[in-house]
Amino acid sequence: MRFAPPITLLLFLAPILCGLCAVILPSFGYFPALGLRTFSLAPMRELFEIPFLVSSALFTIKCGFSATLISCVIVFSVFCSFAYGRVIGSLRLMLAPLLSVPHAAVALGIGFLFAPSGWFIRLLSPQITGFSEPPLWLTNPDPYGLLYVLALVIKEVPFLFLIALASQNANNSDKALITAQGLGYPRREAFLHVVLPELYRRMRLPIYAVLAFSMSNLEVALTLAPGRPPLFSRLLLDIYNDPDLSLQTVAASAALLQVLLVLLAIVIWRIGELIVFNLWRQSLARSKYQDKKILLSLRGKDCRHSKYSLKYSFGDILAGATSIGLCILGSLAIVLLPIWSFAKVWRFPAALPQKWSFELWSSSAMRIIEPWNTSLAIALAASACALMLCVLCLEQETRSKHRIARKYSDKALLAIYLPLVIPQISFLLGIQILLFSFSVPIAMPIIIWAHMLFVLPYIFLSLGDNWRGLDQRYQLTAQTLGSNRNRTMLLVTLPMLLKPLLTAFALGIAVSIALYAPTVLIGAGRFPTITSEAVALAAGGDRRLLGAFALLQATTPFLFFALALLIPRIVWRKRAFMAGV
Amino acid sequence: MSHSSIPSLLRNLLRNYALAVLVAVLLLASSFGATIAHADHGAFHKTEDKARGQTVWFAAWAGSEKINEYLRWVAQEVDKRYGVNLKHFKLESTSDAVRRVLAEKSAGKHTKGGIDLIWINGENFRAMKEQKLLFGPFANRLPNAKYVDYKNKPATSTDFTIPTDGYESPWGTAQLVFIYDKARVAKPPKNLKQLLAYAKKNEGRFTYPAPPDFIGTTFLKQALYDLVEDSEVLARPVGDDFHKITEPLWSFLEQLHSVMWQKGKNFPKNWPKQNQLLNDGEVYFSLTFNPGDVASSIAQGTLPESARGYVFKKGTIGNAHFVAIPYNANAKEGAQVVANFLLSPEAQARKADLEVWGDPSVLAVNKLPKAARAFFKEIEGKAKVGALSAKELGKSLPEPHPSWSESLKKEWQKRYGG
């Protein structure tokens, strides 16, 4: 078990760094297969001659920042307004299903909602709008990348929300908040000053991951972003796809530039953080509530009826309404696209198909089931392996808690977030070349491993805080009663963490099912999954089959999340306290 | 083992022997029959023998369900007939496969490559041929190659002006076809000038797929055909006078884009996507390379009943598509057996069937043996709404040199973005 953290690191860090190196060499002109064996700056020069390069980079940063900032503001406002109330619980129920839906499915659905021939206009036509044919509006794709940002926000808000919820639960910040409120701080002030700094610190890495993903993903960029200026990932893909093989070195330079671009964005974000937190600290020092409110509470006023407690302000309602709005949009997006799989004829301006048919499901059953099997096999294997590694790492961390190793391993494990922060295509490209040079046959285990690169960090993110938040005294008690450490882990720690473990596992399944680039690049196209099929179909345009895959994409992970909620309830039905841990 | 299982063991043995004898007899009979049929191609039997049991990864664009479905049928048939396990390696773009072979070469993987057969033509073929990434020549030693109509379909031996030299085997022919919605467009524009006039009158209802998509690039070449004084220049590689020759094209596009769908700021990614826009009513036109696409798409509900195909008065660009074998393919024999099957009258006729794919055959149908011609007779009977006859298709224009595709694409992307 002592070797769990180093092994995990080796499994993850090595291929990523090697992959990056394999991209760096060609980007400086070294590409033996093309007869290029000398280093030069020519590919870089050629890259900067590409028209729209600068505007594309700026546009990418702009979209990435907008999506991340908006998602953060929404999540933190919701927590600020409703921390620990029933509202958070019901929001969680609404947002969690969205987390499980792949980006590609949401993006395609959003595209169908907002297009000039899309569902919203169909719903209002021709009675209200008077349109008998689609209007000439510049929606989908819109020139400002608004839909792109919207689709990302719909997906990232649930992600950040659940991460925030997990770290809050682990942190006992509800007690801190109650204490602060007890001292007379109104709820919002208490949240901003007492809870948020710690909460943000814990969410920093996930936020960077969101920023990186917003700047480098392919699936949303290909479906919703405008063509001019193109998002950087799209530009990169175009160069990479060019049949002119000499452009491969330029593609490698572009991949390198994408890495730098994301790092630059993270640095800018970090500087922004520091500035905001400095201002914050100053405002805390000047807080007008400092003395007055303490008096208020001391006077024994019932907080329930005071202006600062449970009564919701306009801002609170706005925050709640925005997130509910996102839920509704997201749900519409994922519900309407699958309807296509039951449509025979569905033309503008009909809001529902004119002719329904099960033809697709009966005639293409095998066509649909095969990729679904592959998806499930990869997802189950990758999540199970990743969960096991995470458990071993965390247990090792707990055991070495009071030693120096603890700090060391904590820092080192940060590295497993690398696959989330470094743009996917950039290092996958390199890994692909490396796999070939070592003649690794392309088989299922390789793809599972490639998926683990992305699944493990999410599982770690989701499980880590719960694990660390578990009261150590349970284990201590068990050990005092004579149980050894392994027995304690199996009989005390793991059962107590049943719910977080299952949730992390379901999250792993959802991540794996949504993965596109690793499936196609590392899997060499030999293992079609429902997501790779859906993206391929999105390019080809048969919406009915696309609808079928979208339905599977949305429901499969959802099933696992439902199980993750249900199983602890059944197992712990006589021990309500356990289920709540 | 209990004694009761001994009789069952015997029975099993007997059954196996009977099966073996039966298989041997069948093999003998079939090989005898085949020897008579292809007496001059006895050498190919060795290939077929070696191919048995091989797995062939066929890298082919997977954007159209009709084509994927056809490939599934091919896989069943080659398994049944030759014991070849054909797998469709699904691609979004053919250049993915080219790059994969290149990556393998860069890693020193000169045998046992991941791709055995590629669906290819034009600049991808040129790139692979120039980089020596292809196995061959093999096309002319395929027994079914003798049925190919090289004479009347010159595109089957000259791919975008590049001689195929037997490094790729023809699979189908194609011609650029414009699709319009009869219910919205009374008289479809039949040359560039009419097209521009129509687009100005009906703003936002015309578009074309963005290059580097092959249909989008073909639209540029088609427009260039209408705009250059002497089309001979297109048959030669691009020279220094590229900007002078293409100037009229860019000024035409400037005008056209301003009145196009999304004001020419966005383009559909490919033709199936544009068909979807036509089906949604956002645009009135679409483009395809497959003259049978209109009819089969109407039948499948992906185009409205009122969609019709047509070509420009002066003709539209036609070409052929092929299959090629990478130099490092793992199953070269299996790949050749599949390539040969793809050329068989039965497979070609099925491919031309509008209910299946509707892709025109490369064979000289009137020169086929009588039995083989029956396959084509059968599909001719199925007249379909929206089907284009050979007469309606008219004359096809030859593809320009591949360097034109590359230069036009590059210049287009420079001007109008990714």
Report the range of poorest mean pLDDT among A505-514, B55-64, B384-393.
B384-393
A545: closest chain B residue by CA: B65
Q: Tell which wins on pLDDT, A141 or B133.
A: B133
What pLDDT sits at residue B38? Answer: 44
Predicted local distance difference test score (pLDDT) of residue A169: 72
Q: Summarize the confidence of residues B123-137 as an average pLDDT.
A: 92
State the Cα–Cα distance between residues B136 and A133, nearest whole angstrom.
53
* Amino acid, single-letter form, for residue A21: C
pLDDT tens digits along A105-140: 898 889 889 989 889 999 988 888 888 888 888 877
Chain A residues lying within 8 Å of B90, measured CB to CB: 525, 528, 532-533, 536
Cβ distance B417 to A227 less than 8 Å, yes or no, reads yes
At B14 the pLDDT is 52
Nearest CA-CA partner of B88 in A141, A527, A242, A494:
A527
CB contact under 8 A, B90 and A525: yes
* CB contact residues (below 8 A), chain A span 150-189, against chain B: none
Nearest to B335 by CA among B92, B167, B100: B167
Beta carbons of A433 and B103 less than 8 Å apart: yes
Cα distances (angstroms) measured from residue B298 to each of A264, B73, B305, B373, B408: 50, 22, 6, 27, 32
Residue pLDDT, tens place only, A481-497: 988 888 888 888 888 88
Judged against a pLDDT cut of 90, whether residue A296 lies above it is answered with: no
Which residues of chain A are within 8 Å of residue B305 when distances are taken between CB atoms?
A: none
What residues does CATH 3.40.190.10 cover in chain B? 42-173+320-384, 177-318+394-416
In CATH, what is the architecture of B42-173+320-384?
A: 3-Layer(aba) Sandwich (3.40)
CB contacts, 8 Å: A136 with chain B? 203-204, 261
Residue B27 has pLDDT above 80, yes or no: no
By C-alpha distance, the chain B residue nearest A134 is B282
Structural domain contains residue A453: yes
Q: Could you tell me the pTM of the whole model?
A: 0.80
Does residue A246 fall inside a structural domain? Answer: no
Dihedral (C-alpha) B59, B62, B65, B67: value to the nearest 10 degrees?
A: -40
CA proximity to A553, closest of A364, A371, A361 = A371
Q: Report CB contact under 8 Å: A243, B59.
A: no
Q: How confident is the model at residue A489, as a pLDDT? A: 87
Q: Residue B261: its chain A contacts at CB < 8 A? A: 136
Cross-chain residue pair B265–A33, CB shorter than 8 Å: no
Residues of chain B found within 8 Å of residue A114, distances taken between Cβ atoms: none
Residue B5, Cβ neighbours under 10 Å: how many?
A: 10
Q: Token pair of A345, please?
A: 């004829």
Note the residue count of chain A.
581
Comparing C-alpha atoms, which of A112, A110, A115 is closest to residue A133?
A115
Mean pLDDT (chain B) is: 86
Query: Within a 10 A sphere around the Cβ of B129, how many other Cβ atoms?
Result: 20
Residue A121 in domain: no
Q: Is the pLDDT of residue A86 over 90?
A: no
Mutate to test the interface with B, among A56, A117, A242, A435 (most CBs of B within 10 A): A242
Residue A575 in any domain: the answer is: yes
Considering the domain boundaries, does residue A147 fall inside one?
Answer: no
Cβ separation of B282 and A347 shorter than 8 Å?
Answer: no
The SS3 call for residue B60 is strand
Average pLDDT on A340-360 reads 87
The residue of B58, B181, B413, B414 whose CB has the most chain A CBs within 10 angstroms, and thus the best one to mutate to test that interface, is B413
Query: Three-class SS of residue B38?
Result: coil
> Across residues B143-169, what is the average pLDDT?
92
Distance from CA of B276 to the nearest CA of A (A): 6
- How far apart are the CA of A117 and the nearest CA of chain B, in angstroms? 6
pLDDT-derived band at A443, boundaries 50, 70, 90: confident
Residue bearing the bigger pLDDT, A414 or A8:
A8
Number of helical H runs and strand E runs in chain A: 29, 2
**Predicted confidence (pLDDT) at residue A62 exceeds the cutoff of 80:** yes
Q: The domain spanning residue A399 has which CATH number?
A: 1.10.3720.10
Mean pLDDT for chain A? 83
Distance from CA of B26 to the nearest CA of A (A): 31
- Cα separation, B281 vs A135, in Å, equals 10
Look at B265 and A56 and tell me if their CB atoms are within 8 Å: no
Nearest one of A545, A485, A240 to B418, comparing CA atoms: A240
- Judged by CB atoms closer than 8 Å, whether chains meet at B106 and A31 is answered as yes
Class of domain B177-318+394-416: alpha beta
Q: Give the model's pLDDT for residue A69.
A: 96
pLDDT score of B51: 95
From chain B, pick out residues whose CB is under 8 angstroms from the CB of A436. Answer: 103-104, 106-107, 109
- Across the interface, whether the CB atoms of B92 and A539 are under 8 A apart is answered yes
Q: Do B92 and A535 touch (CB under 8 A)?
A: yes
Does the distance separating the beta carbons of A436 and B109 come in below 8 Å?
A: yes
Distance from CA of B93 to the nearest CA of A (A): 7
CA distance A151 to A456: 24
d(CA A572, CA A441): 45
**Hey, how many other C-beta atoms are within 10 angstroms of the C-beta on A120?**
16
Which among A194-203, A458-467, B33-42, B235-244 has the top mean pLDDT? B235-244
- Contacts of A235 by beta carbon, 8 Å cutoff, 6+ apart: A50, A52, A53, A56, A254, B418
- Per the omega criterion (within 30 degrees of 0), is the bond before B400 cis? no
- Which residue of B lies nearest to A223 if distances are taken between CA atoms? B269
Q: Which residues of A touch B185 (CB under 8 A)?
A: none
**From the candidates A49, A112, A436, A544, which should be mutated to test the interface with B, based on the most B CB atoms within 10 A?**
A436
pLDDT at site B4: 43
Q: Is A526 on the interface with B (CB under 8 A)?
A: yes
SS (H, E, C) B261-306: HHHHCCCCCCHHHHHHHHHHCCCCEEEECCCCHHHHHHHHCCCCCC
What pLDDT is attached to residue A413? 59
User: Please, what is the angle between helix A103-114 and helix A530-540, to 10°?
Assistant: 30
Model confidence pLDDT, tens digit, residues B368-402: 998 889 888 888 766 677 777 777 888 889 999 99
Closest CA to B142 of B326, B323, B330, B341: B341
pLDDT tier for residue B24 given thresholds of 50, 70 and 90: low
Q: Which of A31-45, A110-124, B319-333 has the highest mean pLDDT?
A: B319-333
Question: Between chains, do B418 and A228 touch, taking CB under 8 Å as contact?
Answer: yes
Cβ of residue A234 closer than 8 Å to a chain B Cβ? yes
When divided into structural domains, chain A yields a total of: 1
Q: Using CA atoms, how far apart are residues A295 and A299, in angstroms rounded to an integer?
A: 6
Residue A305 has pLDDT above 50, yes or no: no
Structure tokens at A223: 């479906």
The residue type at B135: F
**Cα–Cα distance, A262 to B180 (Å, whole number):** 44
On whether the CB atoms of residues B119 and B56 are closer than 8 A, the answer is no
Query: What is the DSSP track for A35-58?
Result: TB-S--SHHHHHHHTSTTHHHHHH
Q: A473 lies in which domain range?
A: 1-27+364-581
Closest CA to A509 of A387, A368, A335: A387
**Band of the pLDDT at A405, cuts 50, 70, 90?**
low
Which among A432, A442, A539 is the nearest to B269, CB-wise? A539
Q: Which residues of B230-245 are buried (b: 16+ CB within 10 A; e: fewer)?
A: eeebbeeebeeeeeeb
Q: B103 and A436: CB-CB below 8 Å?
A: yes
Is B417 close to A230, i.e. CB distance below 8 A?
Answer: yes
